[in-house]
Structure 1
Amino acid sequence: MEKSDSKALLVQNDELDILTTEHIENDDIGFSSGYESNPESTPEVDDSSDQESDCNLKDAVNYNSTSALCDRLKYILSMPELCDVTFLVGPTKVPIYGVKAILGTRSRVMYQLILQKQKEEEEKRSHKSRKSRGNSRLVIDVKKYEPEDFRKIIQFIHCGTVDVTSKSVTGLLCGANQFKLVDLKVACWDFIKRCLKSENGSMAVMRKSAHQYSHHKTAEKLLSKISKHFTQTSRETTPTLPSICTVKPSSPPKLTTTV
């Protein structure tokens, strides 16, 4: 599995509760074609409408195209001037940008994080002069993620699509658990199961990445699963050795000489 698509709504978000990811069921998570039709979703028809208009409404088909929207949302992340939140990730504080409105409506945990940071900034500014209130960009420090992995997490929250690899799956899985992204969590575990069944070197890369996130409980769970897999594999591939017998060398024959 190379790419995971989220089916969470990107446009029609009138209420924040709609996007609470705990209510997303696994059966609703999958891959989106980006162009969907729903013949059954027709507008309500008033009893006073005539038969001809009623017939036309029943023939109506509603189309949704989100591929272009996802591309635009992904492009926004590369334009800091259009973003209003900056994450400084890792010990080198790599800047990763995002839009608060999108992040907050796609993840309840991200919304709480942004809201808490905004309150902290407002309290700091209240002790300073009003002239220092020119910078409206929010800055949040993120210490427990690799920059590239966190960039992918923000990308997924922004536009609902991300490439999952053996190197990034641990970071994505930790982010999916922390920010309650159920569809991303399912996609990561599906990718891990595929790697466990394959015989390539992806498991070694995944285990190395999991060690980098050992401070996350999710990474500990993944490491335990990988260790069990390697133990089981080694048992199946190791040939059964016969029992070892100790053989004593026979004593040299005695030579008897008769005179």
Structure 2
Amino acid sequence: MERAESTARLVDNDQLDLLNEQTESEGFSSGYDSSSDISDSELSAFHHGDSHVDADDGLGLECDVNGSNVKYQNTSALCDHLKYIMSMPDLCDVTFLVGPTRVPIYGVKAILSTRSRVMYQLILKNKRAVSEAKKSRKTRQSRLTIEVNKYQAEDFRKIVQFIHCGSVDIDSRSVAGLLCGAKQFGLDDLRGACWDYVRKCSQTRPKSLTTIQRGANQYIHHRYGIKLFTKIEHLLTPTTKRVATETTV
């Protein structure tokens, strides 16, 4: 399994003004005790001029050329919070009913619409249809409901999650659905991550290709589902095909 991260910016935090020694001497204080709150490691990093926090934590501190402005980012916490919102229907205003069993997947229209133009058009189209149908009744619907029939429920949940918070785990079972969703909703970075995952599987875990192909077979109605199925067919070796047949039986 691999984690795909979106390259699109979600939110830019407000810039923080640093107070220099001259400002402090003029009677302005930041409100923090500078003598007790800085650890040895932080002090060492300060003296060595480190301006970035570890990127693996999703944190970043960037200074401009003059060092007069700082932009601080904590994208990992932001992604976690946006993902958590999806599990709380009361905070969401759109519900996707996915597949024949109509599994509900929740999201926030404003976030989804600004992250994917195709998703925005889908939401707008359904919103207009609901408005027309409800005019005579003069009723208000707090949450928009959209039926989605051509995706597996778990795959579509991951697609919405990626659009919602820019992060998703890719595995051999979901890569086909994610690839089709990436193409449909204009998520070029996710599409590239899916193809990269398939390439790595072909090089390091060839047995997983049969699982990927089974997933692609579920999306044979989608152009990219056919493309992935055909690609895997060329990558599979006779030995891998035999193992897959024995596993199926």
Alignment-derived partner of residue 119 in structure 2: 110
SS at match of 1:61: strand
Compared CA separation, residues 199 and 156, structure 1 to 2 (3 A): closer
Q: Secondary structure at the match of 1:206?
A: helix
Contact 2:12–2:73 (Cα < 8 Å) also in 1: no
Letter in 2 for 1:193: R
1:35 aligns with 2:41: no
Alignment partner of 1:190 is 2:199: no
**CA-to-partner distance for each residue in 1:19-57, whole Å, 9 max, x for gaps?**
xxxxxxxxxxxx9751123323x6xxxxxxxxxxxxxx5
Give me the TM-score of the superposition, normalised by structure 2.
Answer: 0.75
- Superposed CA deviations along residues 210-235 of structure 1, whole A, max 9, x for unmatched, are 101100000100111111112xx349
Hey, what's the Cα distance between the residues in 1 that align with 2:114 and 2:132? 24
Mind listing any 5+ residue stretches in structure 2 that lack a counterpart? 14-54, 240-249
Q: For 1:183-224, what per-residue CA distance to the aligned partner results, in whole angstroms no more than 9, with x for missing partners?
A: 100110000000111244211101111101100000100111
> Would the aligned equivalents of 1:7 and 1:32 in 2 still touch at CA under 8 Å?
no
Q: 1:254 corresponds to which residue?
A: none
The reply on whether 1:225 has 2:231 as its aligned counterpart is yes
1:172 Cα deviation from its structure 2 partner:
0.3
2:137 to 108, 129, 144: 129
Q: Distance in 2 between matches of 1:58 and 1:196?
A: 47
Q: How many residues align?
A: 198
Taking structure 1 as the reference length, the TM-score comes to 0.72
Aligned-pair CA distance for 1:82: 0.5
Task: Tell me the residue number matched to 2:8.
Answer: 8
In structure 1, what residue type is equivalent to 2:60? E
Q: What amino acid is aligned across from residue 63 of structure 1 in structure 2?
A: Y
Q: Distance in 1 between matches of 2:157 and 2:85?
A: 13
SS at match of 1:87: strand
| Match status 1:67 vs 2:76 | yes
Distance 1:183 1:217, change over 3 A: same
Q: List alignment gaps of at least 5 residues for structure 1.
A: 14-30, 43-56, 236-259
Give the Cα separation in 2 of the matches to 1:33 and 1:183.
Answer: 20
> Quick check: 1:151 aligned with 2:146?
no
**Could you tell me which amino acid in structure 2 is paired with residue 37 of structure 1?**
L
Paired position in structure 1 for 2:217: 211
Separation (CA, whole Å) in 2 of partners of 1:228 and 1:214:
16
Please, what is the CA RMSD of the aligned residues? 1.9
For residues 199 and 85 of structure 1, the distance between their equivalents in structure 2, rounded to whole angstroms, comes to: 38
In the alignment, what sits opposite 1:96? 105
| Percent identity of equivalent pairs | 54
- What is the aligned counterpart of 1:180 among 179, 186, 194? 186
- Aligned position for 2:34: none
